C-alpha cells in the first residue's frame, strides 16, 4: 500500500511537472508569436481603414510604424475628407492641430482634397481646456444677451443707426479666420458685406477687443486700436496684433484700456477691452466710452 501511494504520488508529481512545462512552452510560443507579428504585413485596405479612424496627430504617429504604413499615410484615398481641430492659443497644446501641420497637409494633398472641415473647440474657461460639447453661435448669443437676437442675414442697415461688434476670441474663430491665419485671414462674407454696407451708408461702426482686425481686413488704411504694440508689464499679451494691423496697411494708435480711438473719416470707433489684462472696471469704462463715441457719430 505504501509503495502504491508512493508511486501514485510520484506519478502525480511527474504529471504536474509535465503540465507545467507544457504551459511554459505554450506561453513562450505565444510571446514569440506576438513579437514576430508583422504589422507591415496587414492588407493595404485594412491599414487605410485604421488610418481613417485616427485624428491627424494619431495618423502622423502611426505612419512611423513601418515604411508601408508611411506610404499609406500619403495615399490620396486618405485625404479626400479631413477635419482639423482648432482651439484658443492658450489651450492649443491639448488637442488642436498645429498650424504648420495643417499647412503641410493642405500643400501636399490640395489636389485631391474634396472637403476640409475646421473644428473649433468649445473651451471650459474654469479648467482652461477644450470640452467635447458643441454650441451654436446664434443660440449662445440669445442666451447671453437675453434680448431680441436675429441672424446677421436679417439685418437691414436702413433700420439701424450704427453697428457694434463686441469682440471676444469667437470673432477670430467664427467671424473670420484670424485664429488660424492671422493677417492672411478671410472675413465671413456676411460680416464683410455688413461692414461695407454701414460704411457706404456713412453710419458709425464700433469694434472692441479683437474685433478691430475685421476692419483692418475690410477697410485698408483705416485707424484702429487694440491697445499697445508692446507687452508693457505683461498687460498686453497679444501686442503683436497691433503690428499685424499695421502690416495690413492700417494705422494702429496705442491707447489705454479705458480709452478709445475714433477714426473720423471712416466713422470707426475702437477700444482694446480684454486685449489688455486689466481690472474689469477699467475694461467697462473703455467699452462704455466706445459706445458713447459711436452714438456721437450716429
pLDDT in tens, the chain (298 residues): 445 444 444 454 444 454 455 555 555 555 555 555 677 778 878 888 887 778 767 777 888 888 888 887 777 766 655 555 544 444 333 344 555 665 666 666 555 554 444 455 566 656 666 666 666 666 666 666 666 677 788 889 998 999 999 888 889 888 999 988 899 999 999 999 999 999 999 999 999 999 999 999 999 999 999 999 999 889 999 999 999 999 999 999 999 999 999 999 999 999 999 999 999 999 999 999 999 999 999 9
If one looks up domain 147-297 in CATH, what number appears? 3.40.50.880
Contact (CB, 8 A) for 167 and 131: no
Q: Which of 176, 185, 208, 209 is catalytic?
A: 209
For residue 43, CA distances in Å to 60, 65, 68, 292 come to 19, 15, 10, 68
Contact (CB, 8 A) for 86 and 120: yes
Q: Does the annotation count 222 as an active-site position?
A: no
Domain boundaries, the chain: 40-131, 147-297
Give the span between the Cα atoms of 190 and 214, in whole angstroms.
12
Beta carbons within 8 Å of 263's beta carbon, 6+ residues apart: 222, 223, 224, 269, 270
Whether this prediction's pTM lies above 0.85 is answered by: no
If one looks up domain 40-131 in CATH, what number appears? 1.20.1280.50
Beta bridge partners of 207: 165, 270
Contact (CB, 8 A) for 99 and 179: no
Q: Which three cell numbers stand for residue 145?
A: 444677451
Amino acid at each position: 500500500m505504501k509503495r502504491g501511494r508512493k508511486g501514485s504520488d510520484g506519478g502525480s508529481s511527474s504529471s504536474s511537472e509535465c503540465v507545467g512545462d507544457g504551459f511554459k512552452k505554450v506561453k513562450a510560443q505565444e510571446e514569440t508569436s506576438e513579437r514576430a507579428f508583422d504589422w507591415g504585413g496587414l492588407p493595404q485596405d485594412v491599414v487605410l481603414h485604421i488610418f481613417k479612424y485616427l485624428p491627424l496627430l494619431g495618423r502622423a504617429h502611426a505612419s512611423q510604424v513601418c515604411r508601408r504604413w508611411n506610404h499609406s499615410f500619403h495615399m490620396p484615398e486618405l485625404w479626400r475628407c479631413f477635419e482639423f481641430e482648432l482651439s484658443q492659443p492658450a489651450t492649443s497644446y491639448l488637442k488642436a492641430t498645429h498650424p504648420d501641420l495643417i499647412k503641410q497637409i493642405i500643400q501636399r494633398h490640395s489636389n485631391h482634397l474634396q472637403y476640409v472641415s475646421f473644428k473649433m473647440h468649445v473651451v471650459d474657461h474654469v479648467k482652461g481646456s477644450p470640452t467635447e460639447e458643441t454650441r451654436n453661435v446664434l443660440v449662445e448669443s440669445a442666451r447671453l444677451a437675453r434680448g431680441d437676437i436675429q441672424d446677421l442675414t436679417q439685418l437691414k442697415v436702413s433700420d439701424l443707426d450704427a453697428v457694434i461688434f463686441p469682440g471676444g476670441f469667437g470673432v477670430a474663430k467664427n467671424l473670420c479666420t484670424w485664429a488660424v491665419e492671422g493677417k492672411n485671414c478671410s472675413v465671413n462674407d456676411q460680416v464683410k458685406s455688413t461692414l461695407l454696407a454701414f460704411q457706404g451708408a456713412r453710419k458709425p461702426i464700433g469694434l472692441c477687443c479683437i474685433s478691430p482686425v475685421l476692419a483692418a481686413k475690410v477697410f485698408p488704411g483705416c485707424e484702429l486700436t487694440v491697445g499697445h504694440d508692446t507687452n508693457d508689464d505683461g498687460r498686453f499679451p497679444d501686442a503683436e496684433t497691433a503690428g499685424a494691423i499695421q502690416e495690413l496697411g492700417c494705422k494702429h494708435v496705442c491707447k489705454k484700456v479705458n480709452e478709445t480711438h475714433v477714426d473720423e473719416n471712416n466713422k470707426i470707433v475702437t477700444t482694446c477691452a480684454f486685449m489688455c489684462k486689466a481690472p474689469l472696471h477699467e475694461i467697462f469704462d473703455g467699452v462704455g466710452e466706445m459706445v458713447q463715441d459711436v452714438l456721437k457719430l450716429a
